[in-house]
Structure 1
Amino acid sequence: MNKVLPLTVLAALSANAAYASSGPESNGFIVDSHLDVLLRNAFIDRDYKPHGIKERAEWGQGVIASYSSGFTQGPVGFGVDALAQYAVRLDGGRGRSGSGGIDFFAQDNDGRAKSNLAKFGATAKMRFSNTVLSYGTQRPALPILNADDSRLLTETFTGFMLDSQEIDGLDVSAGYFTAEQQKSDDSHDTGLNSLTFAGAHYQFNDQFSGAFYASDVQDVLNKQYLGLNYRQPFAADQALILDFNGYNSRLDQSFADSQNTGRSNTIWSLAASYVWDIHTFKVAYQQSSGSTGYHYGGYRNQGGIGDGGNSIWLANSYWSDFNGEDERSWQLAYSVDLAGLGVPGLSYDVAYVRGDNIKTAASGNGHEHEFFNQIQYKVQNGPAKDLKLKVRYSVLRVSSDAADYNIGGNEIRVFVEYPFSLL
């Protein structure tokens, strides 16, 4: 028995080494390179309902150009990536700009939003077998660190990142970042000292996958994430999908003191979706517990965490994230793909979420509810192929005794995006 285990491990490692040595085929630095451009016209209007809070709105035109080279040929390949972003403000500025939740254009000292933004970044990368190590401007898309691309321009981080797929079905990631560039400004100095993370995603089989990641933001918090997804097909056009996402986080004492809150939080959600032909019906439950709510995103120099504005992979996250202290929330949602009714590219989503049991200084049972709906159309062919129009309308109401946790109102988002490739 003592001999069998080492031999088994050796055989597995040998098989893995053979798999890794083959690696992805490289056609060269130039041949595999591509240049993609995204034109994005975006408008957000938030009409806050509490008395005395001004309506906020921003409108802009953005251009995001992404260049990615191939890798040089050989056992170790080298390459470069580059990112250029430019935006011009279209709304007029003073009076309605400046909402942290919109974050299109940062405000100057005179209270006027910047009229334009220009941002550039580059990344050097090296590949061996199925492992890539890179340094420079990064846009991580992981549950523990997800750069926000849901506004006009995209958020980026600077540092090292490792992605390894040496074992079939297993994707291992790790990173170390020392700077964050906010969406709405060209400054790299957002106050982030360092952020370290590591974790993996594994596809166990065609139906079941799981992921675990952990991160540490220096002098702010450490956080762990667990995600599980299971899909059970019943027929060619029917399936049940179960999706679990959860975070456990602990704030540093000094940061918790600066926020006048406790240190620990555990938050999780479980969603069950039934897909039936063009229809998807979903129910979800989300629970937050601990001595504080779930903290994520924001910028360090503005009192935020600094770990990416989309680092909340939870079911009940729309305008509100339903992530208050001790909050519990329920969701009913419906989506339809109207391609099945003869309109390919057109889809509609609607959801209702209600949260209660929110603990604040004023109450132990604050509550909120949100009605969300969104219609989206993507051109399927012709000169405007892949042009996408998205219109979203949310109604959020928050009880007065939970006002120091969240603010309600009506929100409209209109996004027009046109991606195309130049290389």
Structure 2
Amino acid sequence: MLKARISLVALALIAATQAQANEQAASKGFVEDSSMKLLLRNAYINRDKKHGTNDQIEWGQGFIANFSSGFTQGTVGVGVDVFGLYAIRLDGGKGHNGGGGVDFFQPSDTAPANSPHNLARGGAAVKFRISNTVLKYGDQMPSLPVLQHDDARLLPESFTGTLITSNEIEGLELNAGRFTQEARKSAEGRDSGGLKSINVLGGRYKFTDNLTASLYTSDVEDVLKKHYLGVNYVHPIADDQSLTLDFNGYKTDIDSKFEREAGLTGDSNTIWSLAATYTLGAHSFTIAHQRSTGDTGYNYGWYQNRGGVGDGGSTIFLANSYWSDFNAEDERSWQIGYGLDFGAYGVPGLTYNVAYVRGDNINTHGFGEGKEREVFNQVRYVVQEGPAKDLSVKLRSSILRTSDSVRQNEYNDDGNEVRVFVEYPISIF
């Protein structure tokens, strides 16, 4: 049924009355509008666990190349997108590798203590454009609230399928798609995640320069159905002052088969967060509240052949998601955060963020009320000029502490985390 809906949506989008300039009519050509970029990423993550669980340590060098052609001229434009990924293991952290939260290099099933010394993966997609509507088929990295590929590790995830993106009406973006394969970020092969299929449908509309809303739904075959609502409003106060309100919410209905196989405590969850950020010049102050209700926690990401959902490792557009996601059953969490842009003090490109998040009311099913808290710090510097322009260095740390009941329930554990990412984007043409 959803396949038929996607087809109808595609026809409606193509036939929509144009309300802005026709991008296809302005096409310069397949070669003329093409670009190729290379991202060099050196990534290190160290998770120091405190209660018997092995520490997780991985370090690697990644090369992420992307070629995007223009569209041929004419009523229907045709083009291709190609990516190539390569990673070298600098430290597999023997005895510490293979943690689901790091996952730079997938360890061998027969020798779990060992990781490959390198890995390579590539993908390609063909794309068609009519007016301001693009249909793309092949290997892609979707960025939607209900299907967000994970690009927060050494190499990114990717999915294989069809995605239609339409911008026919000014301020409105509509998306409809179906994907049938998922490539794990730490492995070779386009179907290493074991995805059956996921259908996505939704859109984003910019009502005014200050108000934007998003509404999306997804159906992960034999796993769950998920609905998302997001609203963002920016209220200008003065030239250097503003108040931003950001709401994000998910409602999930879980298939009974997946509930049993995953050992979940129920088949439904509703989770939402509301963040308010006051910006004053170089300073930003954030308070946020997040709440999870239902008879299980919020489920997302990981891989279906490992018992996961398979809808992308970053499909959690919520305010209190750092190392912990604060997404347990019945969990309530509060955040206070602060950010500073040192550009106002003569150091452009340098930023600092700190946040404290505390969660309670976790249903641990017989172990007592669960609680957790996290202190997050991040420093990032982007070179502004010279031969190393746009090179960035990001140092991030988290200190996570949990109650005994949370550890007994095996929802989470105490730990200290350090991440160091050095990235250098190169525009080849």
Q: Which TM-score band (shorter chain)?
A: over 0.9
Q: 1:126 is matched with which residue?
A: 128
What is the one-letter code of the residue matched to 1:171?
E
Q: 1:166 is matched with which residue?
A: 168
C-alpha distance after superposition, 1:211-262 (max 9, x if no partner): 0000000000000000001110011110000000000001000111122220
How big is the alpha-carbon RMSD for the aligned residues of Structure 1 and Structure 2?
1.4
Is 1:104–2:125 an aligned residue pair?
Answer: no
Q: 1:28 to 1:333 in 2, by over 3 A?
A: same
What is the one-letter code of the residue matched to 2:105?
F
Q: Secondary structure at the match of 2:173?
A: strand
Q: 1:200 is matched with which residue?
A: 203
Q: Secondary structure at the match of 2:17?
A: helix
Displacement, 1:395?
A: 0.1
Q: Is the contact between residue 56 and residue 93 of structure 2 (CA under 8 Å) also seen in structure 1? A: no
Q: How far apart are the structure 1 equivalents of 2:16 and 2:58?
A: 55
Q: 1:39 is matched with which residue?
A: 40
Q: Is the contact between residue 244 and residue 270 of structure 1 (CA under 8 Å) also seen in structure 2? A: yes
What is the one-letter code of the residue matched to 2:291?
Q
What is the one-letter code of the residue matched to 2:389?
K
Q: 1:83 is matched with which residue?
A: 83
Is 1:227–2:233 an aligned residue pair?
Answer: no
Q: 2:6 is matched with which residue?
A: none
Q: Is the contact between residue 19 and residue 168 of structure 2 (CA under 8 Å) also seen in structure 1? A: no
Q: Secondary structure at the match of 2:258?
A: helix
Displacement, 1:384?
A: 0.1
Displacement, 1:136?
A: 0.6
C-alpha distance after superposition, 1:122-142 (max 9, x if no partner): 000000000000001110111
Q: Is the contact between residue 24 and residue 130 of structure 1 (CA under 8 Å) also seen in structure 2? A: no
Q: 1:60 is matched with which residue?
A: 60
Displacement, 1:362?
A: 3.4
When normalised by structure 2's length, the TM-score is: 0.94
Q: Is the contact between residue 291 and residue 332 of structure 2 (CA under 8 Å) also seen in structure 1? A: yes
Q: 1:141 to 1:92 in 2, by over 3 A?
A: closer
Q: Secondary structure at the match of 1:90?
A: strand
Task: Report the more deviating stretch, 106-115 or 32-41.
Answer: 106-115
Is 1:189–2:192 an aligned residue pair?
Answer: yes
Q: How far apart are the structure 2 equivalents of 1:170 and 1:15?
A: 12
Q: Find runs of 4+ consecutive structure 1 residues off by over 2 angstroms.
A: 13-24, 361-364
Q: Secondary structure at the match of 1:219?
A: coil
Q: 1:318 is matched with which residue?
A: 322
Displacement, 1:18?
A: 6.4
Q: How far apart are the structure 2 equivalents of 1:190 and 1:17?
A: 39
Displacement, 1:23?
A: 4.5
Q: 2:419 is matched with which residue?
A: 413
Q: Is the contact between residue 357 and residue 364 of structure 1 (CA under 8 Å) also seen in structure 2? A: no
Q: How far apart are the structure 2 equivalents of 1:141 and 1:374?
A: 23
Displacement, 1:19?
A: 3.9
Write out aligned runs for 1:280-319 (5 A).
280-319=284-323
Q: 2:49 is matched with which residue?
A: 48
C-alpha distance after superposition, 1:321-368 (max 9, x if no partner): 000000000000000100000000000000000000001133351000
The percentage of counterpart residues that share the same residue type is 55
Write out aligned runs for 1:294-373 (5 A).
294-373=298-377
Task: Report the more deviating stretch, 61-70 or 396-405.
Answer: 396-405
Q: Is the contact between residue 268 and residue 286 of structure 1 (CA under 8 Å) also seen in structure 2? A: yes
Number of aligned positions between the proteins: 410
Displacement, 1:76?
A: 0.6
Q: How far apart are the structure 1 equivalents of 2:387 and 2:94?
A: 37
Is 1:255–2:261 an aligned residue pair?
Answer: no
Write out aligned runs for 1:370-389 (5 A).
370-389=374-393
Q: 1:18 to 1:110 in 2, by over 3 A?
A: closer
Q: Is the contact between residue 132 and residue 162 of structure 1 (CA under 8 Å) also seen in structure 2? A: yes
Q: 1:9 is matched with which residue?
A: none
Q: 1:66 to 1:192 in 2, by over 3 A?
A: same
Q: Secondary structure at the match of 1:340?
A: helix
C-alpha distance after superposition, 1:72-98 (max 9, x if no partner): 001110000100000000014421111
Write out aligned runs for 1:148-163 (5 A).
148-163=150-165
Q: How far apart are the structure 2 equivalents of 1:213 and 1:391?
A: 33
Q: How far apart are the structure 2 equivalents of 1:15 and 1:78?
A: 20
Displacement, 1:21?
A: 5.0
Q: How far apart are the structure 2 equivalents of 1:301 and 1:20?
A: 45
Q: Is the contact between residue 18 and residue 169 of structure 2 (CA under 8 Å) also seen in structure 1? A: no
Q: Secondary structure at the match of 2:279?
A: strand
Q: Secondary structure at the match of 1:402?
A: helix
Q: How far apart are the structure 2 equivalents of 1:246 and 1:69?
A: 36
Find 1:401's aligned residue among 388, 405, 420: 405
Q: 1:16 is matched with which residue?
A: 17
Q: How far apart are the structure 2 equivalents of 1:169 and 1:86?
A: 37
Q: Is the contact between residue 302 and residue 309 of structure 2 (CA under 8 Å) also seen in structure 1? A: yes
Q: How far apart are the structure 1 equivalents of 2:237 and 2:287?
A: 19
